[in-house]
Amino acid sequence: MSRFRRKPINIDEENPYWMSFSDLMSALLIIFILAAMALILELTETKNQVDEAIEEIKKSEMVRRNILHDIKNELSAKNIIVEITENETVLRIPEQQLTFESNKFDIPEDEATQKAVIEIGNTIHRAILKDKRFTYLDTVFVEGHTDSRRSPRLKGNWGLSTFRAISLWELWNDKTDLTPRFDEIKNSQGQSLFSVSGYSSTRRVNEQEQTPLDMEQNRRIDIRFTVKKPSFLDIESIKEQF
């Protein structure tokens, strides 16, 4: 009877799917590297989108600043005084050029005032249309203000301040021969660029109002220029990438 020596079983031959621990770790490392690379690429793309949005805002703010200074310089050359305030976002028409009588909202009829406010409107019109700079703006607000004395008119000082803004707005549309008219200018979203608003006595330049001049300076018009910014949907689309 012949004797047979039993051949040792080779684990690798018995189980071809067997993987050593080192092979498993190598595979996991490769997966980790690929995932890290994908994340880096995604973060880089998101950073670029954020950088583009920031640059767009910076560009819009620079254009707004140039518009305001162009307006002021052109009017100054014609001896018409305006002020740039609130971190270079507002063009203020001081009492030297336009002042309202107490509890009145009509633009004074004297020739000097009419000529000055019409020229201010013409200059604003030229400045925003130059090189299509209005496309960087969202809204231009004609803002009316009052002093602290209560008005017996309809809606009190809120109504009075709003009607002051409307009076100037109507004058610019009705007494200037401009193309396009102010009410025809649209922003980049196809919406009317100009609007009016009233602040009552809530934003007085002279809080104490110790003299008649203090009150007179508070009865004024401001022109506020707001710039186009990334929309909520743009921000949401970036946020969803995280």
**Mean pLDDT lowest among 46-50, 164-168, 230-234:** 230-234
Which range scores top for mean pLDDT: 37-46, 51-60, 122-131?
Answer: 122-131
pLDDT in tens, 63-121: 999 999 999 999 999 999 999 999 999 999 999 999 999 999 999 999 999 999 999 99
Q: What is the pLDDT of residue 36?
A: 79
**Mean pLDDT lowest among 8-22, 35-49, 95-109, 154-168:** 8-22
Residue 189's nearest CA partner among 236, 128, 230 is 230
For domain 50-232, which CATH number applies: 3.40.30.10, 3.50.50.60, 3.40.50.261, 3.30.1330.60?
3.30.1330.60
CA distance 208 to 193: 34
Domain ranges within the chain, ordered by starting residue: 50-232
Per the confidence metrics, is the pTM higher than 0.85? Answer: no
CA 179 vs. chain centroid, Å, equals 25
CA distance 35 to 25: 15
